[in-house]
Amino acid sequence: MKNNLLLFIIICFIAVPMSAQRTLQGQRGLQLTAGTVNGINLNTNSPDFAYHAELAFSEYVKNANKWVFGVEYLEKNYPYKSIKIPQSQLTADAGYYLNFLSDAHKIFFASVGASVFAGYETVNWGSKLLLDGATINDSDNFLYGGALTLEAEVYLTNRFVLVANARERFLQGSSIGKLNFQTALGVRYMFN
């Protein structure tokens, strides 16, 4: 009897798609993501360790497409003798993401997005003189540019979403590197 009941529940779950109230027009969420820059290097003691973190607001429109607005901090370190010279960027971005893949149960979504960026970059926090007397020639700059993003979302519950993305950023105005490839993991909380 127990086996028949379990089989009936499994068949109902597979045959009857769930109609979760997800990715509806007007739904909003707040997400926090963090990850690596230009390769996956999780060794924080490495002289070329780089990371980024973003706080973003998203709002769904038709067909599970969405607008995303965020602020991001990125830091890359450059080895010089026995020290690390940090390059830090603080940027704001706005982007539109097109959903191109989802499952019938509205648990998994994949989208591609394009964003515009503007922000500020500082090298060694504005300090030009190093401890050995060397001088940094790069200066602080305003940045602008764009990014292409591939993103996957998995709904853990109706409110909590696991987010993974890969992004290629191009920022004009940077004195060190114009292209940065980012990978990130995060969580989104849907608040309505």
pLDDT, averaged per 10 consecutive residues of the chain (192 residues), comes to: 63 52 89 92 80 96 95 89 85 97 92 97 78 73 95 94 96 83 96 88
Whole domain around residue 105: which residue ranges?
27-190
Q: Report yes or no on 135 lying in a domain.
A: yes
Q: Report yes or no on 104 lying in a domain.
A: yes
5: which DSSP letter?
H
Q: Report yes or no on 87 lying in a domain.
A: yes
Q: Report yes or no on 116 lying in a domain.
A: yes
Q: Report yes or no on 107 lying in a domain.
A: yes
Q: Report yes or no on 164 lying in a domain.
A: yes
Q: Report yes or no on 9 lying in a domain.
A: no
Q: From CA 162, how far away is CA 60, in angstroms rounded?
A: 16
pTM as predicted: 0.83
Confidence at residue 13, expressed as pLDDT on a 0 to 100 scale: 52
Instruction: Return the bridge partners of 98, or none.
Output: 112
CATH number of domain containing 138: 2.40.160.20
